Structure 1
Amino acid sequence: MFEEAQLYSPVTRGEDGVEVHLGENHPGFRDPDYRARRNEIAAVAVDWDPDTPVPDITYTPAEHDVWATVSRELAPKHERYAHSEYLAAKAALGLPTDRVPQLSEVTAQLEPLTGFRYVAAPGLVELREFYGSLAQRMFHSTQYLRHPSEPLYTPEPDVIHEVIGHANQLASPRFAELTQAAGAATARAERDDTVQFLADVFWFTMEFGVMWESGILKAYGAGILSSYGEMDEYSHMEIRPLDLAQMGTLNYDITAYQPVLFAAESLDHLEDVVGTFFDGCDDDTPDRIRATLPAAS
């Protein structure tokens, strides 16, 4: 289980304007220009009126270079490690690899494929709001990029994770259906612990899911497929079969490579187990699932 607030640097508005509070271990913590840029981009999302078009960001050449570097380095790893469903969706979406796409551009290419659209977020989106919006096929995304000193690493989801990881995944009608189903389950939930259970199952599937394909363990989770290092490591982790009780209750650290992953036997199997869970989940479901866990000795 994780607390979603760990995923983003907090964003506040004070007398001096919008501020992104980076942790001391963040690569950009001691870079005043980067911190000012993060504040600037966050302010655009904070000030955005959702009844108006999603705001564009005028990205700098250095920011485009970060996107291009990550795109170039991830491409051969995708060909080697990504599940064919993700690769087909990536090809259909056709994101630019030499520059950062605007969220409006991502939506224009993604919406005709699966109906998903992107909206701007300054940073942390409350758990229920983020997952609940997926029911309307709406994905909240940040617009900033990771620090240029470490283009292949980020301690928090940036636009590279949200777009290269998730938009490519959401261009698959089957992955999009699973994502929307998670959102619909969240919208039905009245209990916060139900939402947390749903978020944790989502974490071990749509974020860090792996799947067998022709006898080879492939990745389909956005967290793996947007991480240069994680793609080299995931097959060496402890691989368990899909287990809703374990996925909904296992403690894990989002700041490190995931030591335990859950593998679907196929995309049909993923839909049968996880899709059925999302479709039928109500506030009593997590308790019934937890009851199947072995009693603690």
Structure 2
Amino acid sequence: MFEEGQLYSAVTTEDDGTVRVHLADNHPGLHDDAYLRRRGEIAATALAYRAGEPLPTIDYTDAEHDIWRTVCAELAPKHERHAHPEFLAGKVALGLPTDHVPQLAEVTERLLPLTGWSYTAAPGLVPLRDFYGDLGRRTFNSTQYLRHGSQPLYTPEPDILHEVVGHGNQLASPRFAAVTEAAGAASLRLETDEALKFVADVFWFSMEFGVMSDGDDLKAYGAGILSSYGELDEFGGMEIRPLDLVDMGTLNYDITAYQPVLFRADSVAHLEDVVGQFFATVDDDLAARLRAQAGASV
């Protein structure tokens, strides 16, 4: 099941106003004081941001731009081989820069005329209801920090590369954007935490880690796969199951490892008919019935 607090490093504010980011024990930047200070500075910028204000601008360092360039260069040929054509079309339309880290305002400027979506700044974890509520308003909460420079092709948590290269290119597809918006709109109808978790887990196995047939080939469309250098090489060898809402909404999984079970849509239309329609119609009763079906089958 999805646990929101596991995805992001905790952020706290000290009595003197200093913002601290508490990295996990497996984070490559855990003992790098300069990296920790930098993460705190970027998180503080997001914490100080208020809706309606201009999006905060980060003065990225040459080293941070180098990380962005490295990851974009390494992902590009993998996208050509493994990304679904719908994602690739969105990527071309959005035209993200590959030579520098874009500001969130720049991403919004490119994305807004394509699908009506915009970005907002987040220090890290955003409460589940707030995150999905914003999706229902076509707003994506994004971190602004980059992964540690010692391992540019690895991150144990979502960073701006995941949020923008993964989700931004995905949101540039009107069809994928509509499914994402439907998930957010569903959260505004749901009253129970259990129902919201069910929707979040279906979202995890679709818009985050979804795969899709493209003729005889298996392609990725999930942002989590398409922003992961390593996972792009591995996803084809995982256990691939057909779309199954009960299974997707209740399957236990480890977010710190490559996903061993993935769910395949036959086409974009199939994704829309099954997952998109579920998001468009789910209420607390339906989510409870689907959860009960999983329990009854055990």
- Normalising by structure 1, we get a TM-score of 0.98
Partner of 1:5: 5
Give me the whole-angstrom Cα distance separating, in 1, the residues matched to 2:181 and 2:241.
25
Give me the whole-angstrom Cα distance separating, in 1, the residues matched to 2:159 and 2:43.
12
- Tell me the percent identity: 67
Give me the whole-angstrom Cα distance separating, in 1, the residues matched to 2:189 and 2:288.
16
Equivalent AA in structure 1 for residue 10 of structure 2? P
Partner of 2:15: 15
Gapped regions of structure 2 (runs ≥ 5): none
Gapped regions of structure 1 (runs ≥ 5): none
Equivalent AA in structure 2 for residue 218 of structure 1? K
SS at match of 2:258: coil
1:34-88 C-alpha deviation (Å, 9 max, x unpaired): 0000000000001112221111100000000000000000000000000000000
**Alpha carbons 2:250, 2:294 under 8 Å: kept:** no
Give me the whole-angstrom Cα distance separating, in 2, the residues matched to 1:294 and 1:235.
29
How many residues of Structure 1 are paired with residues of Structure 2 in the alignment?
A: 297
The aligned runs of 1:102-141 (5 Å cut-off) are 102-141=103-142
The aligned runs of 1:137-216 (5 Å cut-off) are 137-216=138-217
Structure 1 runs (4+) greater than 6 angstroms displaced: none
The aligned runs of 1:51-70 (5 Å cut-off) are 51-70=52-71
Partner of 2:262: 261
Equivalent AA in structure 1 for residue 254 of structure 2? D
49-58 or 156-165, which deviates more: 49-58
Give me the whole-angstrom Cα distance separating, in 1, the residues matched to 2:185 and 2:83.
27
CA separation of 1:294/1:140 partners in 2, compared to 1, >3 Å: closer, same or farther? closer
- How far has the Cα of 1:292 moved from its partner? 3.4
Give me the whole-angstrom Cα distance separating, in 1, the residues matched to 2:11 and 2:198.
26
Equivalent AA in structure 1 for residue 255 of structure 2? I
- How far has the Cα of 1:182 moved from its partner? 0.2
Equivalent AA in structure 1 for residue 7 of structure 2? L
Give me the whole-angstrom Cα distance separating, in 2, the residues matched to 1:49 and 1:236.
44
Work out whether 1:278 is the aligned partner of 2:283. Answer: no
Partner of 1:289: 290
SS at match of 1:53: coil
Give me the whole-angstrom Cα distance separating, in 2, the residues matched to 1:296 and 1:218.
30
CA RMSD of aligned residues (A): 0.9
- How far has the Cα of 1:2 moved from its partner? 2.1
SS at match of 1:30: coil
Partner of 1:78: 79
